[in-house]
Structure 1
C-alpha cells in the first residue's frame, strides 16, 4: 500500500512539474519514481500468490533480468560495430560498444562475487551494481520522458521555426542527418500558422574548422532550393554548439519580434536535451525531432544522456559518491 501511495505522490508531483514547464529533466525523474514505486507495489502483490507460483516467480524473475542484461549488452556491442563501420571510430561513435562491453564486465564481476569468498570483491561488486543501477534508472527516465516529449504535436502559432545545425560534409554539403532536420523545418515553415501567416525559418550553425562555409549558409541554400522564399530565411552563423544555436537564434528572433514563440527542430535523439537547453536559454519554444537512422540512434542517445548528466554535476557526483560509500561499507553477500 505504501508503494502505491508513493507512486501516486510522485505522479502528482510530475503533473505539477509538467504544468510549470514541460522542459525539465526533474519531470523525467519524478515520472520514473512513480513508475518504480508502482512496479514495487505490483511485485509486493506476489506474496499473495500460492507457494508454488511464488517459488516459480522467484526463480523466473532473476533469470529473466539476467538474460535481459545479456541481450542488451549483445545488442549494444553489435550496434557499436555497425557504428564504427558506418560512421568511423571517433570516440562519440564508440559509446554503444563501450556500454555493451561494460555491461558484460559488470555481469562477470557479479558472477565472480557470487562464487568467490572475498569481502573486497563483494564491496567492489556492490558498488558497481549500485552505481550501474542509478545510471540505468536515470537512463530509463531519460528515454521514457524523451519519448513522451517527442510525441507532443508542434504548436501552430509559432512565429519562427529554428533548425539546429549538425555539421557539413565535404566542407559545404548538407548531410542526410541535417537534411532530415531541414526537411521537417521547411515543412513546418511552409505549412503556415494558426493566423494564416507562415513562420520565418531560422537556420542555425557556425563554421567549423573543417568546413568551407558556415552551416547556416549551406542550410539556407538548401531551404531556398526546397521552396522557402529567401526573404523568409534568417541565418544564424556564429554558433558552435546547441546552447549558442539557441542563444544567438533568440537574439535574431527577439530583434524581429520581441514577443515571439518558436518551434525548434533537431534530430529525434536530441529533442530532450535541446528542450532543456532552450529552457535554460529562455527561449519560448517547443522542440520537435526529425527521424534518425536506426543504427545511429543508440550511440546518439547515450551521448545525449551523458551530456544531460554532466549538466547536473553536483547532484550526480553526490549521488555516486554516496552509493560508492554504501557499497564499500556494506559489501555484497551472495
Structure 2
C-alpha cells in the first residue's frame, strides 16, 4: 500500500488548502496530481502482478483512452458547428472547432514521429505530445475542480448579492444568459432573507459601445419587472470586465459596510474563474453559478480555461518552454544516436 502514499499525501494537502481557501487554482492542480499519482500507483501494481487480468486491464485502458480522444474530437467538431449556426462566426464561437483541429494535429504529429522516426519528427512529436499532455492535464484539473466548487452551498449570511453583467440584446434587452443569472440571484436573495436581514442586490455592468443603457440598469429593470423590490437594488454602472465588476462592486460594499460578506452570481461555466478573480481583488465572498444552455457550455469552458492560462502566463510560459526544450533534447539524442 506504500505505493499509494504520494497520492494520499497530496489529497491530504488538497483538503487542508481547500479548508483554508477554496478560491485557488493550485487546489485544482494538487487534486489532479493526487489523482495522477493514484492512477500511476494502480498501474504499477498491475505491472507487478504480472497476471493476465492485469495486462488485459492495461490494454483496455489504452483502448479506452484512444476512444475517448476520438469521441472528444467528434464532440468538439459537432459543438463547434452548432455554435456557429446558433451564435455566429465570431472568434470565440470557433473555439470548439479550433480545439478539435488542435487534437487532430497533435495526434498526427505524434504518429509521424513514431512512424518516420527522423530526428526532426521525433523532436517535433515529443514537444507536441508534451505540450498537449500538459494542457490536457490542466484542463481536466480546471473542469473537475470547477465542478466541485460549483457544488458548494450558499453561505448562511451575506450582506450583498452581486450579479455580474454580460452583453445586452438590441442595446437594451436582457438576454437569456443574463436572465438566468438574475433569476439565480433572486433565489439566493430569497434564501438569505429567510435567515436574517434581506441583503442588497448589486447589479454590475457598464455600458458597451453598442448598448443604449448600462447593463446594470437593464438588469435592475428586469429584476423589478419580476417583482423584486427596487429599494434593495444598487447599480454599479462603470465596469467593462469581470475584474472591474468585482473591484467596483467591492468599493460600493466597503463604503456601505466595511465588514461585508457577499455572494457573487454569474453563470456556472464562469463561476470558478470569477472566484479566482475575486480572491485576487481581495473581495470577501463566494461565487455561485446559474444554469447555462448545454450547447454553449463547452465553448464557454474552453474560453474560461484560456483566460485562466493567461492569468498565470509566466508559470505556463516557463513550463511550455521547458517542454519545447525537451523536444529539442529528443531531436539531439535521436540525431547523435542514429
Change (3 A) 1:248 1:142: same
Task: State the 1:190 CA deviation.
Answer: 2.8
Report the equivalent of 1:223. 223
- Superposed counterparts of 1:203-282, under 5 Å: 203-282=203-282
Structure 2 equivalent of residue 130 of structure 1: 130
> Which residue number in structure 1 is paired with residue 323 of structure 2?
323
Deviation at 1:56, TM superposition (A): 2.9
Whether 2:182 is the aligned partner of 1:169: answer no
Given that residues 156 and 193 in structure 1 are in contact (C-alpha distance below 8 angstroms), is that contact kept between their aligned partners in structure 2? no
Tell me the distance in 2 between the aligned counterparts of 1:117 and 1:162: 56
TM-score by length of 2: 0.95
Aligned pairs for 1:1-334 (under 5 A) are 3-193=3-193, 195-331=195-331
User: How much does 1:3 deviate?
Assistant: 4.5
Deviations 1:285-334 (A, max 9, x none): 0000000000000010000001001001111111000111012212598x
CA distance in 2, matches of 1:124, 1:2: 37
**2:157 and 2:196 in contact (8 A); partners too:** no
Check conservation: 2:158, 2:192, Cα contact below 8 A. no
Q: Cα deviations across residues 181-218 of structure 1 (Å, max 9, x unaligned)? A: 00000121233346521111100000001100000010
Deviation of 1:63 (Å)? 2.4
User: C-alpha distance in 1, partners of 2:55/2:230?
Assistant: 69
Unaligned 5+ residue runs, structure 1?
A: none
SS in 1 for 2:208: coil
Alpha-carbon distance in structure 1 between the residues aligned to 2:194 and 2:141: 34
**Cα distance in 2 between the residues matched to 1:27 and 1:59:** 31
Query: How many positions carry a matched residue from both structures?
Result: 333
Query: Residue deviations 1:58-83, cap 9 Å, x none?
Result: 43332221221111111111100000
Distance 1:58 1:184, change over 3 A: closer
> Could you list the runs of 5+ residues in structure 2 that have no partner in the other structure?
none
Which deviates more, 105-114 or 46-55? 46-55
Whole-Å separation in 1 of the counterparts to 2:156 and 2:39? 38
C-alpha separation between the residues in 1 aligned to 2:241 and 2:9?
38
Residues 3 and 90 (structure 1), Cα distance of their counterparts in 2 relative to 1, 3 Å cut? farther
Tell me, yes or no, if the aligned pair for 1:158 and 1:193 is still in contact at 8 Å.
no
Do 2:106 and 2:129's aligned partners in 1 also have CA atoms closer than 8 Å?
yes
Deviation at 1:53, TM superposition (A): 2.8
Q: CA deviation at 1:134?
A: 0.4
Greater Cα offset, 110-119 or 134-143:
110-119
Q: C-alpha displacement at 1:49, in angstroms?
A: 3.8
RMSD over equivalenced CA pairs, Å: 1.5
| Structure 1 residue 117 displacement after superposition | 2.9
CA contact (8 A) 2:266 2:287 kept: yes
Cα distance in 2, alignment partners of residues 21 and 326 from structure 1: 35
Judge conservation of contact 2:173–2:218 (CA < 8 Å) in 1.
Answer: yes
Distance in structure 2 (CA, Å) of the matches to 1:135 and 1:307: 13
TM-score w.r.t. the length of structure 1 is: 0.96
